[in-house]
Amino acid sequence: MLDLEVVPGRSIGSEQWEFVLGMPFTQAVNILRRQCRVIKDIQVIYCESVPLAMDLVLNLTQDGIRLIFDSNVQRLKIIEIYNLSKVKLKYCGKHFNSPVVQPTIEQIDSSFGATKPAVYDAEKQLFTISFRGLSFLFPVVADAKFEPNVHGLGSIPLPSKTSVLVSRIYIYSGHSWSDPKAPSLPSGTLYGTVFCDSVQSITQDGLPVGLKFQLLTDNPGQSKSPEAKRKPISRTVQFGDTCQDITSALGCPNKVFYKSEDKMRIHSKTFHKDQPRTSDYFFNYFTLGLDILFDAVTHKAKKFILHTNYPGHYNFNIYYRCNFELHLPSLRTSRSSEEGQLVSITTFSKWDALNRLLVRPSQKPVVLNRASTMNTTNPFGSTFCYGVQNAIIEVMPNNHIASVTICEPLKPSTLSPS
């Protein structure tokens, strides 16, 4: 049985780990992986067809805890403890819920002190006692003539305050547990890591030629407030930048991956069987949701891959969500008023609203089948890739964009005459 400390409006955790409101989904999963011997039977709950319509939930079924994440920003917005019999809870080092300490009204009053009058939900027959960032729900059947919003919990005609136990606990940021908002990224979750706040495309002649990043990292010179510890910085990367340029702008990658096999090289005009076998390589920035491909000979950037991290995709939870906005020229022609306009593509765009502007009706997608070396089956199915100018847009079956790959535009001298 887990023995956890409750911090109102902030977190729940032990001496070894902590779930903090505002932390990214991937960080919470990494904690659960490291604690796999004590935390088991975890469910990931999401809506496959409409992933932004429902919250993303980690359900710790064996411990009676739900970690609820905002589906847009993928940060923890509320912690729900729905089965108090499966977990020990304490506040300021003293237990208010355990096998020997029952979470009664009297115990909550003793542990947390005075609060505002309780609020009664007649439909659900629940009383709610709320502190700042912390709410307790009690199942109580009150008399029909009772006015609970006026008198509060102390006026309920009960034989004893020990006859009613807490049924649920909510830890949240804001004014109400029923309408929580995911707070900004906590400074304690940075740990010297660089996170991506947003990405904008750098456009030249209507095509993206680079990316502008708004990054978030530690500010070691500030220690007065959590907000001051978060340091926003702006960086740009472009095609042709060397690996040293990229490292100076974005920091060291989380991983370097060398392409062991490139089956597309045979289609290259410069391919020759006698040329030396060299491998292009990727800089993987998992916390930025970004991959950068470098040429093996020139060591210059020639491809950027941005990941949206939607649940139901093969690469889900490998990368953090990249919140990007890119612009590509519309393909609408003739007398259309949309001719020549730039089409905005974001992390939350749906392909069915973009395809008529970016691809011709006769253009068919390439079907992408992924398979693991350990397990050849892919439970999430195939995705579809569309070539749009110097970009490749990978689309999931639910019409959401899984990734966008931006390639270096062809120089005018390399284009064939029309």
Domain ranges of the chain: 2-172, 187-414
10 Å CB burial of residue 320 (0-12, 13-18, 19+) is buried
Cα–Cα distance between 79 and 168 in angstroms, integer? 10
pLDDT at 265 > cutoff 70: no
Secondary element (H or E) of residue 381: none
Of 230 and 47, the one with more pLDDT: 47
Cite the DSSP H helix spans in 319-401: 355-358
pTM recorded for the entire structure: 0.86
pLDDT at 157 > cutoff 80: no
Cα–Cα distance between 337 and 317 in angstroms, integer? 41
**Per-residue pLDDT, 175:** 83
Residue percentage of the chain with pLDDT more than 90: 56
Q: By three-state DSSP, how is residue 110 classified?
A: helix
pLDDT at 267 > cutoff 50: no
**Residues making up the chain, counted from first to last:** 418
165-221 per-position pLDDT tens digit: 899 999 999 888 888 888 888 877 777 788 999 999 999 888 999 999 999 887 766
Of 207 and 159, the one with more pLDDT: 207
Beta-sheet strands, E only, within 92-229: 94-97, 119-121, 126-131, 134-139, 168-172, 195-204, 207-218
Question: What is the tally of helices (H) and strands (E) in the chain?
Answer: 6, 26
